[in-house]
Structure 1
């Protein structure tokens, strides 16, 4: 898909000039929730509290809900995922205000595609905790939304006087979100409640959401509808798939406020959530939620940069802080992976874990900024293991979808351990991770785990078998080569934890497994002048050769959402071994140059990333370039640093940042529950957790002259880089850490969390950017050959 973006061209220049900066103000004004609502960014513009259970956002024609180019709004749903890639993304309990008469006997009257209202972008507002839009149908209606953790609040203000209606639609949701059953019941003249049974993400199983909605004014009449039409005066409608809901008529309301609470436990959960957080004035709820957002976003203080760059940064931080979602009700109850009701006392149970995406940087950003929340996230993942019998991969509500491949939960939890989030639970976590690393769930388990472990443990690789049985959408042998690389990275990270816990034999065995990628390195494969690439093997150990002809590293066989060109870099745990197999550091760097089209990038950064890198959010295969739209090679820019050319990391990142803009299409690919946004936050600050489990942050040229990260322990990480200009390619010429010169292109977690000042000296001349390029400049590999 061709992406047309508003960009600022990057041109290398000889000198650094002062950069015009935006005057710091309210951080909420530096967030634009419309970023990512076009071209498959799949974000939503509506209101949510940080990590909230409930979100209130408009529903349009797209499977993620709203799309900026939509011409009509079908309703305002009360559950959304931010940036996910599969179809089933919520929009449950859709409400829409209307005026005028309608024919209840006609079933199509209650189809949200039919009764959808046109709207205007004029006056539309998308800020943290607040969304506003003017519906131009029905005589004109302003809709404002805000949210608490467990409730969504809408205020409808009608342009004309007279009767008004609110449609509460339980039988429809986002486009392509199957609703298999629903119910609605009129409780009294201000309250409705019901259920929605919908399908989980990526072809998962149906699950039930309970809701309760209350209005600040009484409605004077009502009715419900079913697939056969509406019945005035009816108080209840329940059944399977199909049109279903209720309409509520207000005599002459001028304005109506509706508050909706949801629960995954039961109807009492929704009622208690409403009692705990509802019955408050709209403006008070908005003010309270925005205060919370202000506190969260102010954890990073950007003190320079253009207004657009600040908006891109803070919107990225905002998207990072939306998930995982709160899973327990206000009373602490939650529905576990055993489908039983449990209670979180004194902590928050979180759910919706897109681990294949978020283990790469979103997880570490949350752990750095909010260790207390990271502890609850770690505890939640362990609760899934305890109640479900296995660790998750893509956990949606209270079920495992078995979506994506590899072993993302291991680096995810190991990094949480490394950040201190498993204090007191280290051995419990380690045992669960060791089970996951070395075993396979029983056939009766809904978890698929490391389905390729049989061959991996016996022979050191996951066989490529596209017909291997599945328990969900994906299975590891269907992507045997990339699964092997992911397993190896995960095992290496676990070896670090094992060694720290005194499990020396385990640590040695896991470190050896961390080099399993070598078993798939075919030294006889050549492409584009380079020799040696990872290649799938089939059961028995033979190299895979496609029926259509010779194996090519640009093909899709054996790799999940990528090719051998992209996955060859997923070996950051063993840089010496990788470099040796590529023919030495010079050849490895030359291969990176080709991968990034580096020479073209220097001449035309913004054009190169759009014309020569992988384009289109789902264009994964038959490629030999860097894919900035997807996760497998997100860390690849830092591979330059790891092979001894750190200045090129900074150049590639500045070019990549042109893909992130203050526009609806300003997110590259799916935002994937904040992962792409977290990548931008880290890389624009100038540090990135490239090697799981090590606690090492690899450094690069920051995009801002000064940024201060306020840690939860009261200490600060200060990142200074006088003359930083995000619109140009710049390199690091020198660094002082706490006033002491440093020639290391990395800094450890412990040093950062004690409070540190990193003072970068930048240059636009690559010839002067030899900083950290010598021996010892790059961090050591934890599982080096």
Structure 2
């Protein structure tokens, strides 16, 4: 997206000051700035959450993801949020807001005879950024309406807490809104019931995002002291003394009044469950008798432990803030799905119990298979194992492997076959130990069949054509079960299937299934079936082109085929998807006419001459042209997933110094400001890209366990693996403000002339680089033997 220099300049100053006071080498927790990504469609939330938490507490503003930094008022504090997702319908459920003033017939602000008095768009409060705090597990803000109210929030894994401190002793209330949530989040129905003078509970049934089905959230809220009076509202208005409101869509909630003459502080605790009311109550009890401050301290400790999985030396505090905030965003999801007693609601809508492990929810697989998954597997193998077990449970209980699971609903959002490289990489990193055969059987079923119509899953809906002819046909009218379906994006689906098949061939070979491995490896070359050697663009000949059901290349009715059009490609173009064949680089080079021609095409793709002279300007104006501008482009799009790996294609064509340049330019899009994430953060994928690239490595080819390298961003980093091993990366003289290249490398003290590291066994490694600012001295690893062998090539 085009960044606003004026906005960044205005906001950076206020946001830098807390992090700048804390050297990155002392406390990564203090370096995190949760406001990064809350502007320009980053779609992150600034509020409180535990690592991988079920419950979050964050403000509700004008963004469909919750909060926008430029908001001038807050509608409440919701208790479920996703970080960085792109679809409209998401979260903000059970919004609470402290207010003051009279509530009753004819009251100035809350007139019970006027239902609109209880619309959060009307009762929202202005607030100030002065003193606003956004740290892991700790969000604080000053509401400037209703006489002034200080709000502090924190969260444990299953419980969210708010502490409201009223400036005045005016009639004080807490509103709990169940009928409204984030902007564009349809609430289908809700209930709220006052249980006693401390406790309220209820349900919210809302629509899963991207037009998905409905899911139900159960909640319980309890207060640290009794409320003196109460009432509920419904679409017809408010009723004092009423203990319940229930029904379909529309305004619904409750107000709870407190005597603040002597004690002006009220603390609320809210837990949610996807199982039943008993689950929400049990989850609430996990907070026990711990105070707000004790829970905030415990959550901070948990976050510090998570963030210390990577140590960096960052001379510039802002760099430390960007890095640790990115790592923080990586470690927010997937979300815990099990209640404290181990129960969870599966994809069959039935209740199951996970004994000794955690069932997770919210899997944006099309995004996260490209980096976040591998980073979690490295840093948190125990969680990765539970994630793998969750994916297999979804298969067992729902009947098929997932693509984009939202709560207990398969949305079928996005296309291709992301679950295959996702699970194969978990196998490669050891997270499927003891489950290998079961996983392979599920993956083979997914790769060779299509789900029956009775199941909610789409699976590989293009398999009929793909298995018989090697490509997914382009059919804009192909029927679909969810938002997306593969044949409507047949060309990109073919590339995704081919990459997935290659990754599965690696797993098959590792399990001794030689026949399956050979078949799948051959299918890993299927992307070639779409190569049209007759298409030319910008001086280059040969591009991917969709094929229709009759096998012919697609030609639009309006004229000749254009490789920058959206036809047949999902959130990208032929220019961008032409590089999604990293599993067969020799085959790609043959199609493009050799290494020199491929490198020249990459130079055009990245606008390399301008990149060298103006890295930031090129990234901000040539590559990024809008948060959702996926089409009509022939450049690199760092906002979106299909070509995230493309800078490392220079590694694979023998020009590794250009990889370092392209990565360093893309990193300028990540800054310590609200607009500091490029594109949607997509449940941590974009942040994972930044963390990995800053360390100087990226997992470009699924299933291999190999990380292609680039010049790291920091002079020193240590990645602490949970198996007791550590990967240290040193690069003295590193200066992230300029382009730098690798001129020499050593691994464990020995000269290392290769452009990749193998981390599949999670070994201890000591990697050291010499870096230079002179590209002419960057002749390291340019020989043909420097690149990894392609796992699925016939060349």
Match of 1:76 in 2: 77
Q: Deviations over 1:274-331 (max 9, x none)?
A: 1122542110000000000000000000123311111000000000000000001000
Q: Which of 249, 255, 270 is residue 241 of structure 1 equivalent to?
A: 249
Q: Which runs of 5+ in 1 are unaligned?
A: 9-19
Change (3 A) 1:611 1:23: closer
Equivalent residue for 1:545, pick from 523, 536, 555: 555
Conserved? CA contact 2:583–2:791, under 8 Å: yes
Equivalent residue in structure 2 for 1:160, among 168, 171, 186? 168
Deviations 1:3-26 (A, max 9, x none): 224889xxxxxxxxxxx9946222
Distance in 1 (CA, whole Å) between partners of 2:546 and 2:289 is 59
- 1:513-552 deviations in whole A, cap 9, x for unaligned? 1000010000000000001110000002011000110001
| Alpha-carbon distance, 1:162 to partner | 3.4
RMSD over aligned CA atoms reads 1.2
Mapped contact 1:582–1:588 kept (Cα < 8 A): yes
Q: Is the 8 A contact 1:305 1:726 kept in 2?
A: no
Q: Distance in 2 between matches of 1:280 and 1:75?
A: 24
Q: Which residue of 1 aligns with 2:183?
A: 175
Q: Secondary structure at the match of 1:381?
A: helix
Q: Distance in 2 between matches of 1:608 and 1:376?
A: 41
One of 600, 608, 612 as aligned partner of 2:610: 600
Q: Distance in 2 between matches of 1:420 and 1:615?
A: 40
Retained in 1: the 8 A contact 2:533–2:543?
A: yes
Partner in structure 1 of residue 766 of structure 2: 757
- 1:766 aligns with one of 758, 775, 784: 775
Q: Name the residue aligned to 1:404.
A: 414
Residue 235 of structure 2 is matched in structure 1 by 227
Q: Mapping of 1:604-683 within 5 angstroms?
A: 604-683=614-693
For 1:618 and 1:232, locate their aligned partners in 2 and report how far apart those are by CA, in whole Å. Answer: 47
Residue 307 and residue 52 in structure 1: after superposition, are their counterparts in 2 closer, same or farther (change >3 A)?
same
Structure 2 residue matching 1:759: 3-state secondary structure = strand
TM-score normalized with structure 2 length: 0.96
SS in structure 1 of the partner of residue 535 of structure 2: strand
2:343 aligned with 1:333, yes or no? yes
Deviations 1:321-342 (A, max 9, x none): 0000000100000000111100
Q: Is residue 2:488 matched to residue 1:478?
A: yes
The answer on whether the counterparts of 1:155 and 1:257 sit within 8 Å (CA) in structure 2 is yes
- Within 5 Å, which residues of 2 pair with 1:253-332? 253-332=263-342
Decide whether the 8 Å contact of 1:464 with 1:479 is kept in 2: yes
The match for 1:110 among 102, 108, 118 is: 118
CA shift, 1:610, in A, is: 1.3
Q: Within 1, Cα distance between the matches of 2:129 and 2:391?
A: 41
- Tell me if the contact between 2:93 and 2:180 (Cα under 8 Å) persists in the aligned partners: yes
Shift of 1:687: 0.8
User: How far did residue 747 of structure 1 move?
Assistant: 1.0
User: What secondary structure is seen at the aligned counterpart in 2 of 1:83?
Assistant: coil
Q: TM-score, normalised by structure 1?
A: 0.98
* 1:458-497 paired onto structure 2 within 5 Å: 458-497=468-507
Count residues in correspondence: 773
- Does residue 778 (structure 1) correspond to residue 779 (structure 2)? The answer is no
Residues of 2 paired with 1:165 and 1:7: CA distance? 37
Distance in 1 (CA, whole Å) between partners of 2:320 and 2:789 is 34
2:111, 2:289 → 1: CA distance? 33
- Over residues 743-783 of structure 1, what are the superposed CA-to-partner deviations in whole Å (9 max), with x where a residue is unaligned? 011111146x2211000100001111011110211111000
CA shift for structure 1 position 163: 2.4
Matches within 5 A, 1:328-367: 328-367=338-377
2:625, 2:195 → 1: CA distance?
Answer: 52
Match of residue 16 from structure 1:
none
1:3 paired residue number: 3
**Aligned pairs for 1:64-143 within 5 A:** 64-101=65-102, 102-143=110-151
Out of 567, 587, 590, the position equivalent to 1:580 is 590
- In 2, the alpha carbon distance for the partners of 1:544 and 1:755 equals 50
Contact 1:259 1:278 in 2 (8 A): no
Q: 1:522 and 2:522 equivalent?
A: no
Counterpart in 1 of 2:32? 31
Q: Is the 8 A contact 1:565 1:623 kept in 2?
A: yes
**What is the Cα deviation at residue 613 of structure 1?**
1.1
Which residue does 1:430 correspond to in 2?
440
Which residue of structure 2 lines up, in the alignment, with residue 13 of structure 1? Answer: none
SS for the counterpart of 1:277 is coil
For 2:286, what is the secondary structure of its paired residue?
A: helix
From 189, 193, 203, the counterpart of 1:185: 193
Cα-to-partner distance string for 1:710-765 (whole Å, 9 max, x where unaligned): 111122110000011111100000000000001011111146x2211000100001
Q: Determine whether 1:707 maps to 2:717.
A: yes
Q: CA deviation at 1:2?
A: 2.7
SS at 1:368 equivalent: helix
Deviation at 1:577, TM superposition (A): 0.2
Instruction: Answer whether contact 1:614 1:623 (CA < 8 A) is retained.
Output: no
Is 1:454 aligned with 2:441? Answer: no
- Mark the CA change 1:621 to 1:92 in structure 2 (over 3 Å): closer, same or farther: same
SS of residue paired to 2:552: coil
Please give the secondary structure, in 1, of the residue aligned with 2:179: coil
Q: For residues 386-426 of structure 1, what are the alpha-carbon distances to aligned partners after superposition, in whole Å with 9 as ceiling and x for unaligned?
A: 00010000011111100000000000000000000000000
Cα–Cα, structure 1 residues 7 and 103, in superposed 2: closer, same or farther, change >3 Å? closer
Hey, what's the Cα distance between the residues in 2 that align with 1:321 and 1:106? 44
* Structure 1 stretch displaced more, 154-163 or 547-556: 154-163
Runs of at least 5 residues in structure 2 that lack an aligned partner in the other structure: 10-20, 103-109
